[in-house]
Structure 1
Amino acid sequence: MQPTETQTTAIERVEELIQDALAQLPAGTTLKDDYRSNEAACDDPTDNGPAGRIIVEHRHWIVSSESFGAWKTDMVIPPLVAYWQQQGFEVRHDLRDRPDPRYTVENADGYLVSVRRYDRGASYEFTLSATSPCIWQNGTPNPQ
């Protein structure tokens, strides 16, 4: 059972990844909280590690500076894809050809970042999410 980052560090890292992605979008773009969990159970770890760990996950709506806060064109996914490729992130899911496209990458530390588009007819809406790898809340297992 290896030590991990702490919950506090994971929260900071998740928000840093989201803010770095936001900086790639048009000026005036903001975020609106959609979902935030700082201690979701890591019940089905993909790393085959021990139970009892948690993940940190934050998801935000990306709000356009234009009227009504909805995107009139697909101006979100391409700049994020280019940025993440430049940063050396590994592609986990490239579903850009779907009706509601999604693109998910993973950095070298095991953090996932994802953008997803929702077609609302006359405009698009997007979410931006970041998720930590499975971690021990305090960086090490709780003594039993």
Structure 2
Amino acid sequence: MAIRVQEAPFDYGAECSAFAAGTEGAGAVVTFCGIVRDNDGTLRGMDIEHYPGMTERALAGIEAEARNRWPLSDALIIHRFGPLVPNDMIMMVATAARHRADAFAAAEFLMDYLKSRAPFWKKEHSADGADWVAAKDEDEAALTRW
């Protein structure tokens, strides 16, 4: 298990390779990378804030819940904070398990819970000014399947 909350960019390919290389006995590795997207062509950037210590504890709790639900051999969560611009990688999840169904389900669980329950606050900057990103009903609804 590894959880990293960092300001610096990460190399997705290198992270995936390193994770997969360390998953002895796993039959499946699933990875996901979230990217800052500009939905309407006006996003200049985004600031992500968090409380150190609290954030890592919350992510560890989400990861522990995934391990309780699925027989994972390993998991990785990387989440960035600070200023980001469109197309920057914002987060990554990787899971390893003996069987692909467990690796996929655990990765989806992690992504859904990180989106809705991880204590990060996002402020988007556009040509029209800056606004805090509000929680979305569809993100909350995604949690009901778990």
TM-score range, shorter chain: 0.3 to 0.5
TM-score by length of 2: 0.34
TM-score by length of 1: 0.34
Could you say which structure has the higher helix fraction?
Answer: 2
